[in-house]
Amino acid sequence: MRRIACALVAGLTVFASLPFPALADEKLTAAEIRTLLDGRTALGNWRGTDTRQYFATSGLTVYLEKGGIPDEGKWRVDEAKNQYCSWWQRGGWSCYDVETDGATHYWVSPGSDYRSPFTMTDGRQMGF
């Protein structure tokens, strides 16, 4: 019995040390990004501050940090690169990959490790 227990412990130790790939997040396509954002509001947190961003069907976007003043910009989807792009007066156009793990979505800056999580709600929901 003792040999079986030792073999079991040794086997579990080897099994636990095997490299298992992390579950990969799925990159959304252009059509999926459009469906996700169009006429909806993203609820997120940017560096410790709650944020909301509404995406109008017209291409207008409104961004608001809790306690801040709304900022209006433009948004579009880059069909060729499957990316969400936004334009702000202070910074011009920037594009991001959009990934999901099924429950949470992430803005991902290409070439960067930073991923900003967000969830979605229907309609324009700018109040905190």
Topology, domain 24-122: Lipocalin (2.40.128)
Distance of alpha carbon 46 from alpha carbon 117, whole angstroms: 9
**Over the stretch 50-105, which tens digit does the pLDDT of each residue have?**
999 999 999 999 999 999 999 999 999 999 999 999 999 988 999 999 999 988 99
Q: Please choose, from the candidates 94, 85, 89, 46, the residue with its C-alpha nearest in 3D space to the C-alpha of residue 68.
A: 46
pTM of the model: 0.78
Domain regions of the chain by residue span: 24-122
Confidence of residue 114 (pLDDT cuts 50, 70, 90): confident
Residue, of 47 and 36, whose pLDDT is higher: 36
The per-residue pLDDT of the chain, averaged, comes to 84
Confidence of residue 47 (pLDDT cuts 50, 70, 90): confident
Q: What percent of the chain has pLDDT over 70?
A: 81
